[in-house]
């Protein structure tokens, strides 16, 4: 899938993908995974992981 596509279905699929990435990142972080581990496992930038889990408390207290 490519971003910046004008097809309405592709736009909805991109939104769904973004939402799923956020849900997975939050679950992994809440379960104790580090942000670099999440970044590596999901294949997304560390900065994006940081934004996705912002405000979520890790069990390690990080």
Tell me: the pLDDT tens digits for 18-62?
Answer: 999 999 999 999 999 999 999 999 999 999 999 999 988 777 655
The answer to whether residue 1 sits within a structural domain is: no
| Tens digits of residue pLDDT in 6-25 | 899 999 999 999 999 999 99
Contact 49, 25 (CB under 8 A): yes
20 falls within a domain: yes
The count of structural domains within the chain is 1
Torsional sign, CA 8, 10, 24, 26: negative
Is there a domain that residue 62 lies in?
Answer: no
- Is 13 within the bounds of a domain? yes
What is the extent of the structural domain holding 34? 8-51
Residue 2 lies in a domain: no
């Amino acid at each position: 899938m490519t971003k910046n596509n004008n097809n309405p279905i592709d736009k909805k699929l991109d939104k769904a993908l973004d939402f799923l990435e956020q849900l997975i990142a939050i679950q992994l972080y809440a379960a104790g995974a580090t942000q670099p581990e999440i970044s590596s496992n999901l294949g997304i930038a560390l900065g994006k992981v940081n934004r996705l889990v912002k405000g979520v408390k890790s069990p390690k207290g990080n």
